[in-house]
Amino acid sequence: MLNEYKNKIIDFVMEHKKGIKIFIFVLLVGGMTFKGLMQIPQIKASKAEIARLTDQIEYEKERQKEVEALKDKVNSDEYIEKIASEKLGLIKNNSKVFVDVSGEQQ
């Protein structure tokens, strides 16, 4: 009985060989298409993430330029003198100091 079923299956495959190949091909193409369509949202999310990170990189580059400019400014003698005068109340030797004696507070 097992041989009988085996022979029927072999006969069916031999008779419909071309149809089976077409069915398998269509099934594979359909599966690949479905898989591709399911990845579209992930691709869109990845593109949005790339755009966001690109914007962040540009922002950080601009910020780095500002920090470099500030670093150069902070290391200058004029800036150091200005901060010493404003924040610490220090003055250079032989500088003229003007004191407001009018009594008005600012």
pLDDT digits (tens, 9 = 90+) for 2-52: 788 888 888 888 888 888 899 999 999 999 999 999 999 999 999 999 999
Q: Whole-model pTM?
A: 0.49
As for how many domains the chain has, the answer is 1
Domain boundaries, position 70: 40-89
Q: Which of 72, 29, 11, 15 is nearest to 3 (CA)?
A: 11
pLDDT averaged over the chain?
A: 86
Q: Decide if 95 is inside a domain.
A: no
54 located within any domain: yes
> Residue 73 domain-assigned?
yes
3-state SS, residue 44: helix
